[in-house]
Amino acid sequence: MPIEPPVLERQGRRSGGRAGRVAVRTAPLAENLRPIRPGMSGGQYSPLTDANVLRIHEAALDALETIGLSQAPPSGVEIMTKAGAILGDDGRIRFPRALVEDMLALAKKDLVLFGRDPKFDLDLSGTRVHFGTAGAAVHVVDIENRSYRESTAQDLYDAARLTHALDNVHFFQRAMVCRDVVDNFEMDINTLYACCAGTTKHVGTSFSDPSHFEGCMDLIHMISGGEEAWRARPFVSNSNCFVVPPMKFAEESCITMEKCIRAGMPVLLLSAGQAGATALAPLATAIVQAVAECLAGVVYVNAMAPGHPAVFGTWPFVSDLRSGAMSGGSGEQALLTAGCAQMHRFYGLPGGAAAGIADSKLPDMQAGWEQAISNTMAGLSGLNMVYEAVGMHASLLGFCLESLVLGDDLLGQVLRCVRGIDVTEDSVSLEAMREVCLEGPGHYLGHQQTLSVMQTEYVYPAVADRTSPKEWAEIGKPDLVQKAIERKNRILSQSTGPLFDPATDAAIRAAFKIYV
């Protein structure tokens, strides 16, 4: 079906002379020449030694074999025990090591999550890194009034539209709850609509009740152009909290997961224990528990449908042990996420975890360091899907549209770190040094080599300020947040409506109550 092209921000440029040369150098590059892009390979950073990885793996297998998980739905019990899991007299399902290893062998490794537009497809093989949103914030940060208000379907739609225009935010998973939609089924429908109407990048969502799934699939099939087209390119994945840590299945979520598998929807196997509360306090054993719970998910999924697309979603969070409050912006959180990424690499499974969470209530200096540290460590560790990377404040309670815009700049710098330093025959050649030092002006400004790498080696922020104090004063001392507000408003003003053809949108609105 026809879709609208991505929003492009227009900036006036003079033609001719120096301005003309600058315009040529700053024109959009071919995808293969861009200095940063989705799916660059990380993996340079490993917080765990190889011996420690094996120790965590063995501990997770031991936990599955001797402790197991409770409260699986009857359908799940049947699926897993038929594959070789053991249902004990205490109602807990235990997993022999050989069973876990067999299911790991069946699990899909080189997974692609599709966008509605193929140019936004996400290759999750190896250590390829992608950043995106996620979460269930119940508030929006009103940055101009420095206050919080309840989030709405329109806010979610606006966040999706912004994500569509931001190069360094690669996917859009539901980031806010539509608090203005009281009926839970209508909320699930409007969540899907707002996400898919705002972007053709890959979308992640969840379902508040298993009974809502069929109606939501009707909407997805309408967007896709039919079930066959959907199954060929499933562009929505289900973020599924199939476990309630510690070591219990979540019955309703498991039933939803089974429905997703039958419908051809990729799933994120999400284990979200909180260290010191619902997960063990030591960072190493918090990872052990998350790995064990997600390995149980691998068994569950592949016993039902071998090779079904699933993301290994170890998401252990951190508590401030002085108060029990979540501290998603902490250094410990960054370490947990990087350690989980290393376990994904060990299993060769596509993996996802959380980073970029700010405990700060506003996009200030605290938010900057909290978001930058964990996103950088997640990227360098080779995490395939970095969820909650931008926009999240107040330990996941608030989402900020301006912070999403600022996060695009932040992720640009993170991705440049992920890319690393290219050491090639050309990059270490001394010819430019000889020309400048022996024959030339004694500096590299204007040298052909400098000009040739301006776009391919360097990344430039869209909002961040790099002027001198004098220049900054001359242009009116612009404030970073104000610039983010201006860019947000510019993008939203250029967005021309839902990214569906009019007939499809009319049919959707006839079938469902749409709040956007």
pLDDT for residue 89: 97
Q: DSSP strand E in 171-329: where?
A: 172-173, 203-205, 236-240, 267-271, 274-275, 310-314, 317-320, 325-326
The residues near 347 (Cβ < 8 Å, ≥ 6 apart) are 104, 312
Number of neighbours of residue 112 by Cβ within 10 angstroms = 17
pLDDT for residue 33: 81
Contact 2, 501 (CB under 8 A): yes
Q: Which amino acid is at 200?
A: T
- Calpha distance 89→74 (Å, rounded): 15
Contact 343, 385 (CB under 8 A): no
- Calpha distance 130→388 (Å, rounded): 11
pLDDT for residue 478: 92
Q: How far apart, in Å, are the Cα atoms of 75 and each of 78, 247, 300, 394?
A: 5, 18, 10, 38
- Calpha distance 502→498 (Å, rounded): 9
CATH architecture of 105-419: Alpha-Beta Barrel (3.20)
Q: What is the pTM of this model?
A: 0.94
pLDDT for residue 496: 83
pLDDT for residue 515: 97
Encode the chain (516 residues) as per-residue pLDDT tens digits.
444 444 444 444 344 455 655 565 556 677 778 899 999 999 999 999 999 999 999 999 999 999 999 999 999 999 999 999 999 999 999 999 999 999 999 999 999 999 999 999 999 999 999 999 999 999 999 999 999 999 999 999 999 999 999 999 999 999 999 999 999 999 999 999 999 999 999 999 999 999 999 999 999 999 999 999 999 999 999 999 999 999 999 999 999 999 999 999 999 999 999 999 999 999 999 999 999 999 999 999 999 999 999 999 999 999 889 998 899 999 999 999 999 999 999 999 999 999 999 999 999 999 999 999 999 999 999 999 999 999 999 999 999 999 999 999 999 999 999 999 999 888 898 999 999 999 989 999 989 998 989 989 999 999 999 999 999 999 999 999 999 999 999 999 998 899 999 999 999 999 999 999
DSSP 326: E
Residue 36: phi and psi, rounded to 5, are: -135, 150
Contact 85, 94 (CB under 8 A): yes
Number of neighbours of residue 229 by Cβ within 10 angstroms = 13
The residues near 194 (Cβ < 8 Å, ≥ 6 apart) are 153, 154, 156, 157, 160, 178, 516
pLDDT for residue 191: 98
